[in-house]
Amino acid sequence: MCCNEYRNNLHEYVSGKLSELESHATARHLKTCDKCRREVEEIKGMKGFLKSGLLENVMPPMDLKSGIMASINLKKYKVKYKNSLGELANWGMSLVAAGLILLFVSVAPTGNIVQVQNDWDNTRESIREKINQPLSSINERLDKFTNRITQLDGITGRMERKKEGGN
């Protein structure tokens, strides 16, 4: 193991929580590594200090919580809401894909693909008729309107000629 791997286990070593094999390996490492040996001494010193009971009567400052809360940058931890419209679009595409898969799976084994094609052609033709019907009605009305304008143009032309001839 390298020094960092031993260093991760030093607290367990001091507490006696390592296996016998790991404990012996750590002890051998400590004989050769001054850095880890100093860290073990610090850990032992801290454990002794904590066990001494000197901290039992120590109370945190009254404004500790308010100081910590004031130092937190709330903007950094603001919850970002997901774009629900984009999420709905993804769901919509997924539903369309699932519907197409379901259609092909349900139609393919029965051999009714020809029937589906015929139904599709009939549906397309029906849609064309429904679109063309109002368009042809509009076209007829435009023709009538154009004819009336032409008639009015002819009438106004005759009236102007009469007016010029009558003067």
Whole-number average pLDDT of the chain: 79
The confidence score (pLDDT) of residue 110 equals 57
Among 11, 38, 44, 10, smallest CA distance to 26 is for: 10
- How is residue 127 written in tokens? 């849609």
Domain-located, residue 90 = no
What pLDDT, in 10s, does the model give residues 71-126? 887 777 666 666 665 665 666 677 778 877 777 766 655 556 666 677 777 777 88
Domain-located, residue 61 = no
Q: Residues 107, 113: contact at Cβ < 8 Å?
A: yes
pLDDT of residue 134 exceeding 90: no
Domain-located, residue 98 = no
Domain-located, residue 7 = yes
The last residue of one of the domains, among 36, 55, 74, is: 55
Q: Percent of the chain beyond pLDDT 70? A: 79
CA–CA separation, 77 and 72 (whole Å) = 9
Distances (CA, A) of 154 to 19, 37, 52, 143, 161: 113, 115, 118, 17, 11
Side-chain-side CA neighbours of 111 within 13 Å: the count stands at 0
The rounded Cα 39 to chain-centroid distance in angstroms is 46
CA–CA separation, 66 and 63 (whole Å) = 5
Domain-located, residue 103 = no
The confidence score (pLDDT) of residue 159 equals 80
- How is residue 10 written in tokens? 């030093």
What is the count of structural domains for the chain?
Answer: 2
Among 24, 15, 5, smallest CA distance to 44 is for: 15
Domain-located, residue 106 = no
The one-letter code for the residue type at 97 is: A
pLDDT of residue 128 exceeding 90: no
3, containing H or E segment = helix 3-8
Domain-located, residue 66 = no
Domain-located, residue 127 = yes
The confidence score (pLDDT) of residue 31 equals 92
Whether the model clears a pTM of 0.85, i.e. scores above it, the answer is no
Domain of 12 in residue numbering reads as: 3-55
